[in-house]
Amino acid sequence: MKIKRIAVVASVVAVAALALSGCSVPKTSEVIKGTSISVAWNDPLQEYNTLSATGNSAANNNISYMANSPFNYYDDKNKLVKNTEFGTYTVEKKDPLTVKYTVKEGVKWSDGVQVGAADMMMTWAALTTHLNNVEAEYDADGNITNQAALDKGVFFNAGAVKGQGLDLVSKTPTISDNNRSVTIVYDKPFVDWELSFPIGVSAHGTVQLAYPDKKYSGDAANKAFIKAVQDKDYTFLSPVAKSWSNDYKFLDMPKEKQKLLSDGPYVVTDLKDQQFVTLTARKDYTWGPSPKYQKITVRVVGDPQAQITALQNGEVKIAEGQPTADLLTQIKGLSGVKYKAATESTYEHIDLQVTNGGVFDPKTYGGDAAKAQLVREAFLKTVPRQDIVDKLIKPLQPDAVLRASLQFVPGTPGYDAVKKEGAYAQYDKVDIEGAKADLAKAGVTSPKVRFLYGKTNTRRQQEFELVRQSAALAGITVIDGGSETWGADLSSKPNAYDAALFGWQATSLAVAQNQANYTPGGLNNYYGWSDKALTAIYDKLSTETDTAKQDDLLVQADKIIGQQAWSVPIFQFPGVTAWSDTVTNVKPAFLAPQYFWNFWEWAPSKAAAK
């Protein structure tokens, strides 16, 4: 699993530079009756609510993307496309920034309820701190310790942070156009406004789940929710927030239809834990590009070799993964199979835990932050980044190099500036003697580092072994913490690991998207990272419209993260998508959801009829 970031990820470009284009779509269904396609992904659906802190993963997003309609999406050229058949958004005022969102009349959830203001109000309620009146507290193992308080209070588990994103909308949004429009007013300019307001799970369905005994109709549930938000009725909102946070977590097909309501072209009709998800085309869908396949099944195939074997055997028609050199050679030799090998938006990195009582936490050394930082620096000096690139990546991509930034995509002006500054240059080459010196200065001998990574991923197994062998030369013992549930472990088991190896996958080109990674309380900050100067940089960045100043701020951010020895980048992913020639219009994209981005264009080819 690659963790995705919701409008808070890895690529950095000015929103003003994004190309917008209209979307011409058919008014009638183009679904071919009786057709189906099976495709492969490496992780299962674990949660349907992708806006929650726990639902934030690529595997969940792929399914949600096919089942739900957005106001906009990125194509394979990284252009932001407006889905005007679903709805529109317009800037009503620039000062203060005022944006009106309107869902088109006739756009309905799969139970027939009109999509509209209540659903957008739920997004605002969840992604701000303005309605939350209690926050979760955790023990060292990541377990919630104040559940009783959460049950009584309003707590949307969305990782909302004060002064970030939709939290800049402090006034309750206003409603118009027969409950199909919402107007939001930002307290101050927000550079990523165009990417900040997705529609998540249904408002009426969530209310129905929260109050099953009241037997609310869809319209009645929406009205009750809107009134509660406008009145700040915390008593009513408390169960709703709890339902939003918890009820969309399931591994097999749920009994309650509300848990899988769709406002897009497909609806989930079957689900088996660790096996597959099946989506079936809706008969009433007309507000976006029409899919061609009646059914799409996403099969869970964790091992890249197993994916290619399944493709070769005809069990799946599309496969995507992190290839080895041998696997790519195998793909090239397959008949009836097309493929595209290209750099992905995902990049590999290692993050260090600093608040879990472990080897990198100042508390372990009586609160001595300098000593803990020396130990972090010592470990990072042993990470064989160049060796990883040379042995595991260059056989697939001969021109592969070390990634030099955690903020910028390679090839951008900001990236070159970070590289020149050398934010992570001290870790470019393994420095065993330097690591030993740091440990000696800290007075720490034989430190042990619990290392979390995806256990079923061959390349990550190889990376772990290279790290383990190198660290041992400096007297550091790296303990194998490989896990099949590593993605969930990042946030739920912070006390179980000290270092984590995984990839960040970009879902957008938002300017301030890394804010959630490195600021206190951020959705993706699993480690307790906190630096006042860095937080101030991200706060300023979210309202900075000058692209040169944006780059300057992000260069400073990289320098601070490098100085803190919190994290280090390793390489940009070489990816490969392979597909059967019995399916047409597979066009892998740089940004997530990668090959799923144009699922509506997939269609049986002439070869399929043979």
Q: Which helix (H) or strand (E) holds 88?
A: strand 87-94
- Predicted confidence (pLDDT) at residue 139 exceeds the cutoff of 70: no
In this prediction, residue 592 carries a pLDDT of 87
In this prediction, residue 5 carries a pLDDT of 43
Query: 493-524, pLDDT tens digit by residue?
Result: 999 999 999 998 877 878 877 888 999 888 78
Mean pLDDT of the 427-439 span: 98
Calpha distance 201→260 (Å, rounded): 9
In single-letter form, the type of residue at position 588 comes to P
Share of the chain above pLDDT 70, in %: 94
Domains of the chain, each with CATH number or no CATH: 344-573 (3.10.105.10)
Query: 53-108, pLDDT tens digit by residue?
Result: 888 888 999 999 999 999 999 999 889 999 999 999 999 999 999 999 999 999 99
Task: Name the least confident of 15-24, 226-235, 342-351.
Answer: 15-24
- Predicted confidence (pLDDT) at residue 418 exceeds the cutoff of 50: yes
More confident site: 522 or 331: 331
Calpha distance 534→546 (Å, rounded): 19
Half-sphere exposure of 84 (CA within 13 A, CB side): 7
Q: Which of 462, 423, 393, 449 is nearest to 567 (CA)?
A: 423
- At 602, the pLDDT band (50, 70, 90 cuts) reads very high
Query: 6-31, pLDDT tens digit by residue?
Result: 333 332 222 222 222 334 444 689 99
In this prediction, residue 345 carries a pLDDT of 83
SS3 580: strand
Non-local (6+) Cβ contacts of 597 within 8 A are 65, 73, 74, 75, 76, 587, 589, 591
Calpha distance 422→271 (Å, rounded): 48
pTM of the model: 0.82
- Predicted confidence (pLDDT) at residue 233 exceeds the cutoff of 90: yes
In this prediction, residue 2 carries a pLDDT of 53
Half-sphere exposure of 400 (CA within 13 A, CB side): 25
In this prediction, residue 12 carries a pLDDT of 28
Please report, for residues 158, 214, 329, 476, the alpha-carbon distance to residue 208 in angstroms, rounded to integers and kept in the order given: 20, 8, 52, 53
